[in-house]
Amino acid sequence: MKEEAPIELRAWRQFLAVAEELHFGRAAQRLHMTQPPVTQAIAQLERTLGVQLFDRTRRRVALTAAGEALVPEVRALLAQARSLPARARAADSGEAGRVRLAFVSTIGFDRLPGWVRDFREHSPQVALELVEATGDVQLESLARGDIDAGLLLHPPGAAPAGLARLAVAQEPLVLALPAAHALAQQVRPALAEVMDEPLVLYPRRILPGVHDAVMQLYAAHGRRPRVAQEAIQMQTIVNLVSGGLGVAWVPASVTAFSRAGVVYRRAEELKERGGKKVTLPSCETSLVWLAERQPPALARFVRFLRTRAEAGEAG
């Protein structure tokens, strides 16, 4: 099938002027032209389309059914054409565009919803495309160019190398206990007793730094954890704890995930032998992206989050 030649916007402007005026003379004045070129342009447009757009008599000009069908489409086409320069400038400045953002579930429990809401108010022409993904998946997606940035979890100051980074949250690990367990009935369960319990843990490939911090916590107390079950998602880990499969060490933000059958204990709600203060590892969430691949919309989102972090929302 032969491809039809594109019709220039000028021809559509002339058509719309005649369609709205229903008078070739007035349409020509509106276009700052003389009448004969307008008449010729409409005749050429009809020949190109192979349809008649206007019924003409000495006394009147009227749209045909084909002409009437084209009017709203042509108005939309010309409006879109007029908007293109502004859209280009908005995209270049980051005022418009999209950010493909991956995130770990922990940041999705508390901070992320507010950030998304406020950023949409701040930059309504930037579309945030959100996808939940573990850190290892995010790094692969960044390398492939499938996402623009990721919010991932890691030990403080130990974000993956080779990436631009903005720290946005830091929080301690807390203990998740089955509510029916005897330790959960104690006001301050002993850390030593907790460490004797089966452990539900995230695989090392998912959170290597945080996984290692948990293992080091046990090693510092001369223990080797009995890993009863591994799970990738924090919600799944909490659900397994609720089912009585073991205890778990999870970021404090997970406590916002209310799950019947689970209680949480922070460091100050645990006790050490000899009355020593319990110290638990912390973890950090950072926004990461490829420094050489920072489209304007992403730069705008980074500035937005940096402002929030500097205002104290990252602590």
**Phi/psi of residue 10, nearest 5 degrees:** -60, -40
Residues constituting the chain: 315
Joined together, the tokens standing for residue 234 give: 């924090």
Burial class (CB in 10 A: 0-12, 13-18, 19+), 67: buried
pLDDT of residue 2: 56
* Cα angle value 96/102/108 (rounded, 5°): 105
Q: Kindly state the helix (H) or strand (E) to which residue 234 belongs, with its residue range.
A: helix 234-242
* Cα angle value 155/160/165 (rounded, 5°): 90
Question: Judging by DSSP bridges, how do beta strands 97-103 and 149-154 pair with one another?
Answer: parallel
Q: At what angle do helices 9-21 and 65-93 cross, to 10 degrees?
A: 130
| CA–CA distance, 114 with 2 (Å, rounded to integer) | 53
Q: State pLDDT tens for residues 136-177.
A: 999 999 999 999 999 999 988 887 888 999 999 999 999 999
Task: Round the CA-based radius of gyration of the chain to a whole number and report it.
Answer: 32
| CA–CA distance, 279 with 314 (Å, rounded to integer) | 21
Residue 263: CA atoms inside 13 Å, Cβ hemisphere, count?
15
pLDDT of residue 186: 92
Of 313, 311, 309, 293, nearest in space to 99 by CA: 293
pLDDT of residue 98: 92
Pairs from 113-117 (Cβ < 8 Å, separation ≥ 24): 115/304, 115/305, 115/308
Q: Which domains does the chain have, with CATH numbers?
A: 9-91 (1.10.10.10), 97-169+294-313 (3.40.190.10), 172-283 (3.40.190.10)
| CA–CA distance, 202 with 134 (Å, rounded to integer) | 11
Assess contact for 248 and 210: CB atoms under 8 A.
no
Of 156, 149, 65, nearest in space to 104 by CA: 149
pLDDT of residue 314: 47
Residue 183 contacts by C-beta under 8 Å, 6 or more apart in sequence? 177, 189, 193, 194, 197, 247
As a whole number of angstroms, the longest Cα–Cα distance in the chain is 108
pLDDT of residue 313: 55
For residue 241, give Cα distances in angstroms to 197, 227, 245, 261: 11, 12, 6, 8
Question: Judging by DSSP bridges, how do beta strands 54-56 and 262-265 pair with one another?
Answer: unpaired
List, for the chain, all residue ranges whose pLDDT scores fall below the cut of 70. Answer: 1-4, 90, 312-315
Quickly count: other Cβ atoms within 10 Å of residue 58's Cβ: 4
pLDDT of residue 6: 83
